[in-house]
């Protein structure tokens, strides 16, 4: 305090943002705050000391946090995946791409569809189904259903992405009867 009893640390503060304000009004209000007020708002919302960031980044982070509180945050699985990627980046200095499910050649995928069991064999070039080669599971799913399905999803694989395979050379069409006769 100085000789007049004024506290030099006090700041001419605007009233705190009320919970009744509309989210867009709250975000607009954040943009009008001074750096000192932004840091106070950071402490209130994040319950931590504000990092040494530019005013613009602090505004963006506070706006994100307000939206997160209003609409809900990221799902736990997403937060775990992000934490895992951050740990990988710290440990290895880079993040490797997620290859998706790895299906080894020779594996068989079985799916029942409309009372009929369909079996697909994984090959080095793609997938074999009913005597024909297909470059992707999605094309196999289309051949079975006549509809546009995600092949990995149709066959119950967790990820919607499988390894990308180049289209194999065309194979002459054979009927199921000739394939069955050749295996008899």
**pLDDT of 114-160, one tens digit each?**
999 999 999 988 899 999 999 999 999 999 999 998 888 888 886 43
Residue 179 — very low, low, confident or very high, per pLDDT cuts 50/70/90? Answer: very low
* 177 and 113 belong to one structural domain: yes
Kindly state whether residue 77 falls inside one of the protein's structural domains: no
Residue 173 and residue 112 share a domain: yes
- Look at residue 94 and tell me if it is in a domain: no
**Could you list the residue range(s) of the whole structural domain that residue 48 is in?**
23-71
Q: Is residue 17 part of a domain?
A: no
Q: What is the bridge-based pairing of β-strands 132-134 and 108-113?
A: unpaired
Provide the pLDDT for residue 71: 86
- Same domain for 113 and 55: no
Mean pLDDT of the chain: 78
Give the sign of the dihedral formed by CA 49, CA 55, CA 57, CA 62. positive
- Structural domains in the chain (count): 2
Q: Look at residue 80 and tell me if it is in a domain.
A: no
Same domain, 67 and 113: no
Percent above pLDDT 70 for the chain: 72
Assess whether pLDDT exceeds 60 at residue 177. Answer: no
pTM over the 0.75 mark? no
| Cα(27)–Cα(49) distance, integer angstroms | 20
Specify the length of the chain in residues.
Answer: 184
The string of DSSP letters for 46-84 reads HSSPPPS--HHHHHHHHHHHHHHHHH----HHHHHHHHH
Which of 67-71, 103-107, 160-164 has the weakest average pLDDT? 160-164
């Amino acid at each position: 305090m100085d000789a007049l009893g004024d506290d030099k640390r006090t700041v001419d503060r605007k009233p705190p943002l009320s919970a009744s304000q509309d989210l867009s009004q709250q975000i607009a209000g954040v943009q009008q705050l001074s750096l000192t007020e932004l840091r106070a708002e950071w402490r209130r919302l994040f319950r931590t000391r504000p990092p040494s960031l530019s005013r613009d980044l602090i505004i963006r982070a506070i706006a994100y946090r307000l939206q997160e509180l209003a609409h809900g945050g990221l799902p736990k699985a997403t937060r775990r995946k992000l934490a895992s990627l951050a740990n990988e980046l710290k440990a290895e200095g880079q993040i490797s791409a997620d290859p998706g499910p790895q299906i080894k050649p020779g594996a068989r995928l079985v799916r029942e569809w409309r009372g009929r069991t369909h079996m697909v064999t994984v090959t080095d070039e793609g997938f074999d189904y009913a005597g024909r080669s297909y470059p992707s599971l999605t094309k196999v799913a289309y051949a079975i259903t006549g509809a546009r399905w995600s092949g990995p999803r149709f066959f119950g694989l967790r990820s919607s992405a499988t390894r990308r395979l180049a289209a194999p050379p065309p194979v002459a069409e054979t009927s199921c009867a000739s394939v069955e006769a050749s295996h008899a």
